[in-house]
Amino acid sequence: MKFNKKTKLIQLIHVGKTQLGLDEELYREVLESTTGKTSSKLLTVQQLEAVLDRMRQLGFQIESKDKTGVKNLADDAQSKLIRHLWLQLHNAGQVRNSDEKALAKFVENKVGVSALQFLSTKNADTIITHLRQWCKRAGIERLDPA
């Protein structure tokens, strides 16, 4: 069975509903306050994405896993640079915990996004700038991956 983007977003929204413990009334209220509609089937892709963003603000965390059960990590250039800078700060003793969850919490505290794969280019730039400034303050010379 082939799923389109809209179907996948509706599935994610229903996972979010369960994870957040929303009853039917509260779920419909979230839909209506975000989009003006009370059924996910009536929503456009953009509206579905807006509902997902609202659910993330409420604490919904998407944990994507590949078929081996290993979490997928964002592997775009900005995410790799963010991870690299984070690890440099850890190696210099500036960051206590080098794991992905600690980095995700740092990112969430700075820009309100729960994981690297959900960062917009603008938010990723904000994080990179902040980490580079932190590296500079800590006296870490090499800022780019070798």
Domain residue ranges of the chain, discontinuous segments joined by +: 5-57, 77-137
Compute the distance between CA of residue 14 and CA of residue 18 in angstroms, rounded to an integer.
Answer: 6
Query: Would the pLDDT of 1 be above 50?
Result: no
Question: Percent of the chain beyond pLDDT 70?
Answer: 87
pLDDT score of 135 more than 60: yes
- Would you place residue 109 in the very low, low, confident or very high pLDDT band (cuts 50, 70, 90)? very high
| Cβ count within 10 A of residue 94 | 16
pLDDT score of 64: 58
CA distance 43 to 52: 12
Q: Are 131 and 80 in contact (CB under 8 A)?
A: no
Q: Of the candidates 84, 55, 34, 37, which has an alpha carbon nearest to the alpha carbon of residue 74?
A: 84
Q: pLDDT-derived band of residue 92, with 50, 70 and 90 as boundaries? A: confident
Task: Report the C-alpha dihedral over residues 42, 43, 45, 48, rounded to 10 degrees.
Answer: -130
